[in-house]
Amino acid sequence: MNKFSSVILAATALTLSATAANAADAERNDRLFDASGSSVAKVNRVSEDGDVLVIYKGKVRRIQAETLSKTDGKLTTTLTKTEIRRLK
């Protein structure tokens, strides 16, 4: 294995561990906040891949784990409410 392959494997491992950390951070009934810091909804379910399901504007929305983080102890997404409304 050459040096380039080692770098790619390390980057992949870091990405996977970051996704796993997001999945561990989100829990049912956590309050989800959007990119501007406004409250969106409570988390109804956390899927195995770390995505969270919330009910927003009367519909179930799936928020991808890649957009989630814990900021000051709050579950936050990089999406805005307008973007969340467009999700399925």
Q: What is the CATH number of the domain that holds 59?
A: 2.30.30.240
From the list 26, 24, 87, 78, the residue with the least C-alpha distance to 55 is 87
Residue 22: the pLDDT is 45
Domain around 21: 3-86
Question: Tens of pLDDT along the chain (88 residues)?
Answer: 566 566 565 556 555 545 444 444 899 999 999 999 999 999 999 999 999 999 999 999 999 999 999 988 899 999 999 999 999 7
Point out which residues pair with 9 in neighbouring strands: none
Residue 23: the pLDDT is 47
Residue 72: the pLDDT is 86
Residue 20: the pLDDT is 44
Give me the number of domains the chain comprises. Answer: 1
Question: Can you give the pTM of this predicted structure?
Answer: 0.70
Q: Which helix (H) or strand (E) holds 16?
A: helix 3-25
Residue 25: the pLDDT is 80
